[in-house]
A = this chain, B = another copy of it.
Amino acid sequence: MTGRLVVEDIRPRTPGPDRYAKAIVGERVRVTAVAFRDGHDPLAGRVLLRRGDGTVVCSCELVALGNDEWEGYVVPTGVGPHLLEVQAWTTRHGSAGAVLDADTATDLTTSDPVRLWVDRERALVGAWYELFPRSFGGLSGVLGRLPDLAAMGFDVLYLPPIHPIGVTFRKGPGNTLQAGPDDPGSPWAIGSAEGGHTAIDPGLGTMEDFRELVGQARAQGIEIALDYALQCSPDHPWVHEHPEWFHHRPDGTIACAENPPKIYQDIYPLNFWPPEEADRVALWEACRAILEYWISHGVRIFRVDNPHTKPMAFWEWVIAEIAARHPDVIFLAEAFTRPKVMARLAEAGFSQSYTYFTWRTQQHGPEGLWAYLEEVSRGRASDYMRPNFWPNTPDILSGPLRHGSPAAFALRLVLAATASPSYGIYSGYELYENEPASESNEEYLHSEKYEIRRRHFSSPGNLSPLITALNRIRRSHPALQRLHSLTMHPTTNPAVIAYSKRSDDGDDVVLTVVNLDPGRAQEAILTFDPAGAGLDPSRSYRALDELTGESYDWFGPQPFVRLDPAVRVAHVLSITQGGPS
């Protein structure tokens, strides 16, 4: 129902009704709306942030942007469900004092409320590291790796499934169909006689070992993230206890997973819509119970395997159920899938998503980094989808990393760590592991999914110092902890990409410049307007490379950079007015 004024088109918001846009505690959330009325009297307005119980968290005056658009800011103080409302009214006082003015405004009009889910900080900001515990001798072996991960500045340690692995049709090295007696199998073939999704593979350790890992990690500032992979090996207890939860072939046997022409003989997918409604309810509740079980053991982050192979309605239900009880739980969607599906999973409630970053290697063009960074930071879906940039995963060795030089690994790392508030690497990245399974296969040679890999992390010349530096810079620069402020800067050389970010208060400005060509030195003139970064354009300004400590005194909007991979692949520059005047 339209009121006396039109107050509509609120952002952030989701395309669908009754779903949540997203923010984190302490984030300055920019809210925009369209507001106007008939006639020529001036308007004033405000934006209100309400908790789920209706209490107002904050109220901020709106400022006119022109074209009947207005903006204001709110700052959430606690996690959970919130509502945004925009109010506007005719004022006789101009915009000054407008917030108080509202109390006597006779034509005050309130927009339809927009839902906003507020997460804790880690839903937006975090450095992730992924490792297979079995390659470290199990959970207790991982304890020994924690101090290095903490020293490198990682926030989240993500473990692929730690559950018992099936033996029936167990995969051998390189995804072959015959496993030898000592082959460990894929951790995603979950379940054996020793248990299912709530059990720990005895080869990895005990529940006590797991509790110890969670505790020691927490003490060192690291959270453990578990894999939530809703599928079963043929030996999973559910196969016998609940055959009705699986797909059956006409001959009565249970169907294995297929992604034609691939067949996954070691995995049975679950049938989320069994013929009987009671069976559906029981299965969904059992899936929820897995999450509740690990939550009761201290886990608050889940990396969700292949969410696009399960019904959207299930995700909406299970995430809402968990969020209502545990609003601090974070879900990362492994949504390397179609664009519409990826965005829709975020709308369904996932806190963050893997992205196409892994395959975005050039600057320009429809599949380039420029367009992609603008899309993930400012596109419509950025109201509710948060990226997590991974240069590699156990499944994906792509682009310049294939047979890549250390410079290739360094440049992809800098891009991920500075462009997205959340990023992650899979173990071995710091050692420049670069051998693909084949020229046509995106997986690794000797994929750790099927084999145990022992690594020498202290090998000289590895990437740890750069990782450490980047994570330190990320923590000390609030600009890098935000998504929406990302601004692309044109350069005169397509091999040199440049973008900057600002902190909520505008005081912290970080300009990142990366040479996308690991093979040779590249030069470029950037377009960087100091006034756009809040600086006085009539004075020089200082660009301090936080990676090296070198600083450059620049003047004007066209600084020059030269990046030689033999020396450095990137500048991560803190920009201040502090140059000589």
Interfacial residues, chain A to chain B (CB-CB below 8 A): 1-4, 6, 8-9, 15-17, 34, 36-40, 67-69, 107, 258-260, 269, 272-273, 308-313, 316, 338-341, 344, 348
Contacts and interface: CB of A to CB of B under 8 A. Distances in A.
Nearest to A344: B6
B313 A67 contact: no
B40 A316 contact: no
A377 B1 CA distance: 28
Contact of A38 (B37, B107, B308): B308
Which are the 5 A-B pairs with shortest beta-carbon distances?
A: A68-B340, A2-B313, A6-B312, A38-B311, A34-B340
A270 B258 CA distance: 69
Contacts of A3: 313
A38 B312 contact: yes
Looking at A6, A67, A107, A316, the one whose CB has the most chain B CB atoms below 10 A away is A6
Nearest to A19: B2
A124 to B, nearest CB: 25
5 contacts: A6-B344, A17-B17, A67-B340, A68-B338, A68-B340
A4 B311 contact: yes
Contacts of A107: 273
Contacts of A313: 1-4
Protomer copies: 2
Looking at A2, A260, A316, the one whose CB has the most chain B CB atoms below 10 A away is A2
B4 A9 contact: no
A273 to B, nearest CB: 6
B40 A259 contact: yes
Given A68-B340, A273-B4, A344-B6, A309 B36 contact: no
Nearest to A316: B2
A344 B69 CA distance: 13
Contacts of A68: 338-341
Nearest to A112: B17
Nearest to A109: B313
B37 A311 contact: yes
Contacts of A69: 340
Contacts of A311: 4, 37-38
A2 B340 contact: no
A269 B272 CA distance: 62
Contacts of A348: 2
Contacts of A260: 40
A180 B110 CA distance: 49
A348 B3 CA distance: 12
Contacts of A341: 36, 68
Given A2-B312, A34-B340, A39-B269, 12 more contacts: A1-B313, A2-B313, A3-B313, A4-B273, A6-B312, A6-B344, A8-B16, A36-B341, A36-B344, A67-B339, A67-B340, A68-B341
B309 A39 contact: yes
Nearest to A40: B259
Contacts of A15: 8-9
A446 to B, nearest CB: 29
Contacts of A340: 9, 34, 36, 67-69
Contacts of A308: 38
B6 A36 contact: no
A259 B40 CA distance: 7
A316 B2 CA distance: 8
A479 to B, nearest CB: 31
Contacts of A17: 17
A272 B4 CA distance: 9
A67 B260 CA distance: 19
A490 B349 CA distance: 44
A258 B36 contact: no
A3 B313 CA distance: 6
Contacts of A38: 272, 308-312
Contacts of A4: 273, 311, 313
